[in-house]
Every structure is written in C-alpha cells, then in structure tokens.
C-alpha cells in the first residue's frame, strides 16, 4: 500500500471511535440514559453526590435487601399488582406505565386524589393501579388499546368513572392521560396490530431495544431534555415498563431480556428524596430552599434535569459499591430503585421526617 492509499478499515475504526458516520446496525442497542446521566453529573453545579455516604448506604441497602429476600418476586407480592403471567398482565402493565406520572398533591392525605378499592383507600401511584383493577372489575376494557381509540365507547365520561376519586380532587393531569391513551392506542393500531405483545416481540428480547422502540414510536414515552446544550435522555416510563414486565414474569416469557442490566433507575421524585435522606445526594442552598418551600420547578429546568440525572448516576454508584461488597449479588438498578421506592413509602407511612420531594408537574414522571 502506497502512502497515498487510504486504509479504509483504519478509517472506519477512527470514525466509530469519534462517533462519526452511520451507526453500526449490528451493534447491540443502547438507550444512552446512563451515559447522559454521567454527563449531567459531571457538569452539575447545583446537585452533588457524596461517595462516603454512598458506600455506607450500599452496606445498609445490601443488608436489608438480603434480610427481606428482595427479588423480582417482590413485585407480584403486592395485592394490587397482577399475578397471572399472560397477555392480560402485559396489557395491564403497559396501561399502568403509560399513565404512571404525576400523582403528587398539595392537599392533605384526607383531601388528595384517592381511589377506594377492596375496602382500602389508595393514594399516589397505587391509586392508579387500584383504579385500573377496579375498572376491570366493573367490566370496562381500560387496558385494551382498541378500547382507547373507540371514542364512542371510551368516552371522557367512562374514563372519569374509571378514575373517580373518593375526594373532590380528580386525578392530576386527567386530560393529558386521555391524550396518552388515545395517542398510544392509535400508534399500536397502525404499527403493531393493536398488540403490545407484537411491540415487545419486535424488540427481540432486548430491554434497551424495547426502550428505544417506545421512545422512537410513541411521543408520550419520549422523555428527553437539553442540558448544557446536549440532548439528554431519561426515559423513565419506557424503562419502567420494561422493568415491570421483567419483574412480573420473573425474567421469563414476555419478561425475558438478554440485556436487562442496561436499564437504569427511573428518574422521578421519590427516589431522589430517599437518596437525600441517605446522604447520597445534596442540593445547593437555593434549590434546597425551593424544595423545602414546596415551590414548583418547571419541567426541563436545569435544576430538575440535575436532580434526575444525578439520581440515575447515584443509583449506578450504589450498584457498583454493592457489587464490590458482594460480587455474586443478583442486583441491578431496577431492584435498587424498587427497594428505595418501597422504603420511601414505608418511612412516609411511619411519618418519619424527610425533605419534601421536588414538585415538577409533567407527564414524564
């Protein structure tokens, strides 16, 4: 080869290393959520992580998860989560995570949106799950994509019945939830034969592939922002759909994914609150004051993006510390997220003092 000849193989390697040129179609799918979270952490000036407390928290989390026998089985043990391992459960989970956003309220526990089901009153995330179960018991096809786009049967009146409250406060962002149902139903009909199973099968057992598919085809799952001039992805509800299917089916059948550990934590408002209580995360004084005053933070604001991105990276650091402690631990970001969410709810019910969660009203979480 003369000095003037081009080594195309070397040139291709250089382009790939620099991220230039067409993507390798044979490469495994990547969501880029973790990489984007690291970028946010590296450039964050208002949210910080504490490695000393992270190491201490990892010891305690591993200990408690082992004592409780925490695993994928824990998901199905909740009385409201579906137990069957069939298509109906897949449909239920998709509907649940399609609408899994914005349950916080400024009202008291007695006044906030509340669903009564099976002789219990449910609030927060569980109010949504209870409402769906109640709707199915009342023979309303609330988990059927073809029902969502049938505006003669799936009227606003019927949906108000499904999501009716025991209090005067209706479910937050009711109109946005209707739009999510209609939009997703239309896309499923046009591209996936109205079948969520077809959607899952198109991902070929790739968790990252399914997350990307949801983000690409469904605008209401495209949870992204712009931080320091760079597009960053969080994809909370797309990721939690994959995680819930994985947990519900215990990694088998519809829940079999060959890259489930690519899923990160689900950047919302409860886990950051728990990370703060554990000393893993802290906020600059103006942000800390804003949160403590219950003042809203606009969706897409730099503070909100830093809270979400640094929380994802904090869970990744916790995971790494746990693996150092016990290399054979069957642990990933999903299980840590589930555990910390449950722990936050336990502490809330026990009325333990904690910083309020940040208030951002959006469809993303």
Distance (Å, whole) CA 7 – CA 201: 40
Active site residues: 268
Handedness of CA 343, 346, 348, 353 (dihedral sign): negative
Indicate the SS3 state at residue 116: strand
Burial class (CB in 10 A: 0-12, 13-18, 19+), 46: middle
Kindly state the tokens that stand for 182.
């209609």
Question: Which residues lie below 8 Å from residue 9, measured CB to CB, with a gap of 6+?
Answer: none
Distance (Å, whole) CA 122 – CA 133: 12
User: Radius of gyration over alpha carbons of the chain, in Å?
Assistant: 21
Handedness of CA 252, 212, 339, 244 (dihedral sign): negative
Kindly state the tokens that stand for 95.
């509907």
Indicate the SS3 state at residue 232: strand
Distance from CA of residue 218 to its chain's centroid? 15
Kindly state the tokens that stand for 162.
């499904």
């Amino acid at each position: 080869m003369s000095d003037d000849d081009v080594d195309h193989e070397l040139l291709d390697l250089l382009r790939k290393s620099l991220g230039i040129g067409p993507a390798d179609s044979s490469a495994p799918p990547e969501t880029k959520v973790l990489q984007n979270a690291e970028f946010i952490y590296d450039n964050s000036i208002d949210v910080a992580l504490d490695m000393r407390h992270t190491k201490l928290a990892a010891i305690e989390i591993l200990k408690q998860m082992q004592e409780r026998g925490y695993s994928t089985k824990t998901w199905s043990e909740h009385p409201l989560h579906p137990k069957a391992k069939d298509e109906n459960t897949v449909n239920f989970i998709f509907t649940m995570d399609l609408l899994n956003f914005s349950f916080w309220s400024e009202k008291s526990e007695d006044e906030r949106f509340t669903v009564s089901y099976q002789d219990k009153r449910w609030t927060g995330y569980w109010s949504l799950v209870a409402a769906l179960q109640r709707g199915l018991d009342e023979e309303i096809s609330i988990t059927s994509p073809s029902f969502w786009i049938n505006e003669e049967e799936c009227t606003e009146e019927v949906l108000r019945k499904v999501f009716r409250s025991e209090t005067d406060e209706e479910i937050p962002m009711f109109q946005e939830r209707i739009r999510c149902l209609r939009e997703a139903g239309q896309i499923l009909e046009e591209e996936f034969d109205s079948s969520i199973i077809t959607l899952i099968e198109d991902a070929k057992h790739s968790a990252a592939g399914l997350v990307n598919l949801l983000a690409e085809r469904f605008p209401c799952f495209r949870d992204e922002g712009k931080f320091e001039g760079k597009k960053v992805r969080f994809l909370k509800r797309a990721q939690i759909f994959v995680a819930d299917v994985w947990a519900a089916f215990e990694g088998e059948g519809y829940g079999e994914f060959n890259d489930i550990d690519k899923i990160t934590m689900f950047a919302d408002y409860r886990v950051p609150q728990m990370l703060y209580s554990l000393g893993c995360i802290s906020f600059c004084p103006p942000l800390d004051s804003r949160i403590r005053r219950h003042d809203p933070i606009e969706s897409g604001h730099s503070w909100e993006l830093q809270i979400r991105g640094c929380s994802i990276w904090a869970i990744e650091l916790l995971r790494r510390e746990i693996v150092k402690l016990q290399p054979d631990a069957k642990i990933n970001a999903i299980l840590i997220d589930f555990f910390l969410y449950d722990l936050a709810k336990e502490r809330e019910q026990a009325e333990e003092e904690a910083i309020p969660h940040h208030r951002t009203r959006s469809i993303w979480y």
